[in-house]
Structure 1
Amino acid sequence: MPSRRKRVAEGGLRGRLARLLAGWDEALRVGQEAAVRRELEEADDLFLLLCFSESFGLPNPASWHTLELYPLMLEEFHEWHRRMGQERSPLDHLRCC
């Protein structure tokens, strides 16, 4: 049976190792968070373009499937056109502001 002193020393080493690994993991994530966030925004923009492509005059092969998403996507569309630097909705028939 290990002595109390040995168990405390092992716990301290494990704790230090866990903190070291957590710090290493955080250091690796810092540079990648912005890139991942940018990729997610680009994917969201592409999805919005697919949903609202007929409104922009582009043929949409999936218009029947995306039609029921319009009410859910209205708030996200508002955030999107604000992020693109447009104060008002670029679509005349779609008023979100």
Structure 2
Amino acid sequence: MDLLDKMKKMIHIYDEILKQPHRTELARELRDEEDLFILLCFSEMLGLQNPAFYYTLELYPLIIERFHEWHVRMGMEKSPLDGIRCC
């Protein structure tokens, strides 16, 4: 191992040590952002006006798989949308 590899490894270890206490906060923040994004994508179906509906329409096939996890996390036992049956 040369000096450059050792330095990269040390920097990686140092970076992991700094990130460790904040992992749960980062995960929670990412989950909250995803929840907001899914709400925006499906808000038109829930009866809320969404000015970005046209732009989010093409994303539905990609996020429909995560919709079930989202509505369960939001406290809804069944899917709130009639057109999407995931349970």
Pairwise same-fold verdict (TM > 0.5): yes
Residue 44 of structure 1 is matched in structure 2 by 34
* TM-score, normalised with respect to structure 1: 0.68
1:1-97 equivalences under 5 Å are: 24-97=14-87
Relative contact order higher in (CA < 8 Å, ≥ 6 apart): 2
**In the TM superposition, what is the alpha-carbon distance from 1:87 to its structure 2 partner?**
2.8
Q: Check 1:25–1:62 CA distance in 2 against 1; reply closer, same or farther (3 A cut).
A: closer
Unaligned runs of 5+ in 2: none
**In the TM superposition, what is the alpha-carbon distance from 1:72 to its structure 2 partner?**
1.5
The CA RMSD measured in Å over matched residues stands at 2.3
**In the TM superposition, what is the alpha-carbon distance from 1:52 to its structure 2 partner?**
0.4
Q: Check 1:22–1:68 CA distance in 2 against 1; reply closer, same or farther (3 A cut).
A: closer
Q: What count of residue pairs does the alignment treat as equivalent?
A: 83
Identity of aligned residues (%): 53
**In the TM superposition, what is the alpha-carbon distance from 1:19 to its structure 2 partner?**
7.8
Moved over 4 A (4+): 17-24
* TM-score, normalised with respect to structure 2: 0.75
